[in-house]
Chains A and B, each alone.
Chain A
């Protein structure tokens, strides 16, 4: 509950910032107004697209767009928007890739050089020095987040509350499940499903709901899912597989591997995804 609450507050903050910028367009030059409205639009879209999962976290480096908008705002009306130069320091609080951080540093320097003529030289230099200090302060804060993202990311589930895991977890679970199913004398198999790219997340959720809660689903790549299924015997497994495929009509291609036939020593996620292509070729020959 508390996490939902945080999302809502972030969204409210985004809308409030958009409103403030929209109000600022009053009495602005046409070009300045245009960039202001663009920023308003960006904040609105961010607020609407915000969700509570790891789905979009590794996607496009959106910090570049934010940086470009900030530079645009300062460039179109340096004397009017000079105050926003301080927002640059906050940019470095966001976790970002190295090249994005370098790019943002350059963009921030350009923004400073646009503001500098408005101030006396010592004042401008003092501004640069304080900005650098604040930038260091804010990146010290970003350190905490980068560290958590690095080490823990490999074992995280992808959506809160769902048994949907990253592919790295599959390789670990496979070896564990192989010994376990052998010891318990049950039949386990890995069902691999390919869907269209835009249907991946909805299919993953459906798949998680269709299988037992003690079975797990893994995301292999942006159009492949795998489910580790446990049954008493191969006959029951075939029956369950048929029911599952009927429940997931959007499946483009699916195949299964009995867990005992998987050779773990040479296994990689790419090999698991590639397999159906080879099978198809074999069928064609």
Chain B
């Protein structure tokens, strides 16, 4: 979700432009003859160049170049105020705004609030000092609104998207809800119900050894294989990190056994680059007569546990 090509290109553009800007600022100071102010911008230009290179190498943590960019904006603004106290107060907004785009919301708020005394010290001699304080407060509060909106949309998505983040299967909340619905439907319309509990023993090892790409490949292979081999109304959901439940409505025990055999045969023919043959352990678990839903769920969980230990 973090690394989309478009976002990457925009970030590259932002890093490049900020290098050019600070370099231009340095040349401007040089041509104006302010030689003693030159040192800091020159240093910041070099820092930003490193940040640009770090951004290009994908292996590094993207947090580092972001931190460099943000601290550069602080350093260069502070230096400008230090060397030339008559600098317009409008420039205080630059690092403040950058903090909200480069940091998560809570740390951005903390940083801007903590740095407010600093700005007050720098500008207290000007006539409109109190005005600046209010303007600064209003700006912080307004800048915090879009990130909150992002958080709201993301929470809303989590609450309304039935699918798991990593693969094409229901996530645990929807899975339980759908299973409960099927449980009620089977009871109401006098139908049978079966659930296959599936465990992927390779998953934890794959993530530790080969990283998240191998994990996603493993999950994707399982979901693809199961979704393509099942009926349209069978429900596949991820109950636990390495455990899936396949809900088979209107299926008898022998039917479920057949599905199990078919799936197991198909899955072990899938070979992945890093982990090799896809290994799965599958068990059938049917609701008993007059069993409550909660009890059935705990039985399913116990079965998954047994599979992971075996």
Say yes or no: is B13 at the interface (Cβ < 8 Å to chain A). yes
Q: How far is the CB of A97 from chain B (nearest CB, A)?
A: 15
A87 contact set on B, CB distance < 8 A: 139, 142-143
Q: Which of A3, A89, A232 contacts B97 (CB 8 A)?
A: A89
Say yes or no: is B81 at the interface (Cβ < 8 Å to chain A). no
B153 contact set on A, CB distance < 8 A: 95, 145, 148-149
Q: Is there contact, CB below 8 Å, between B101 and A138?
A: yes
Q: Is there contact, CB below 8 Å, between A93 and B138?
A: no
How far is it, in angstroms, between the C-alpha of A91 and the C-alpha of B151 when the chains are bound?
16
Say yes or no: is A222 at the interface (Cβ < 8 Å to chain B). no
How far is it, in angstroms, between the C-alpha of A16 and the C-alpha of B147 when the chains are bound?
15
Q: Is there contact, CB below 8 Å, between A83 and B139?
A: yes
Say yes or no: is B309 at the interface (Cβ < 8 Å to chain A). no
B132 contact set on A, CB distance < 8 A: 83
Interface-side segment among B155-163, B258-266, B279-287 = B155-163
Which applies to chain A's interface (DSSP): helix, strand, loop or mixed? helix
How far is it, in angstroms, between the C-alpha of A149 and the C-alpha of B156 when the chains are bound?
11
Q: How far is the CB of B163 from chain A (nearest CB, A)?
A: 7
Q: Which of B177-196 contact A (CB under 8 A)?
A: 177, 180-182, 184-185, 188-189, 191
Q: Is there contact, CB below 8 Å, between B14 and A133?
A: yes
Which applies to chain B's interface (DSSP): helix, strand, loop or mixed? helix
Q: Is there contact, CB below 8 Å, between B90 and A83?
A: yes
How far is it, in angstroms, between the C-alpha of A3 and the C-alpha of B89 when the chains are bound?
38
Count of chain A residues with a beta carbon within 8 Å of a chain B beta carbon: 77
Q: Is there contact, CB below 8 Å, between A90 and B184?
A: no
A134 contact set on B, CB distance < 8 A: 94, 97-98, 101
Say yes or no: is A268 at the interface (Cβ < 8 Å to chain B). no
Q: Is there contact, CB below 8 Å, between B97 and A90?
A: yes
Binary CB contact string for chain B from 1 to 37 against chain A (1 if under 8 A, 0 otherwise): 1101011001101100110010001001000000000
Q: Is there contact, CB below 8 Å, between B4 and A143?
A: yes
Task: Kindly name the residue among B21, B101, B160 whose own CB sees the greatest number of chain A CB atoms within 10 A.
Answer: B160
Q: How far is the CB of B147 from chain A (nearest CB, A)?
A: 7
Given A129-B21, A213-B180, A14 and B145 contact (CB-CB distance below 8 Å): yes
Q: Is there contact, CB below 8 Å, between B141 and A86?
A: no
Q: Is there contact, CB below 8 Å, between A10 and B93?
A: no
Q: How far is the CB of B155 from chain A (nearest CB, A)?
A: 4
Q: Which residues of A contact B (CB under 8 A)?
A: 2-3, 6-7, 9-10, 13-14, 16-17, 20-21, 23-24, 50, 52-54, 80-87, 89-91, 93-95, 115, 118-119, 122-123, 126-127, 129-130, 132-134, 136-141, 143-145, 147-149, 152, 155-161, 175-177, 179-180, 183-184, 186, 212-214, 230, 232
Q: A134-B94, A179-B231, A214-B188 are in contact. List 11 more A-B contacts (CB 8 A).
A: A13-B141, A20-B141, A52-B155, A54-B156, A83-B132, A134-B97, A140-B14, A177-B233, A180-B249, A213-B180, A214-B185
Complex A-B: 6 CB contacts under 8 Å:
A3-B155, A13-B148, A52-B152, A87-B139, A127-B90, A137-B10
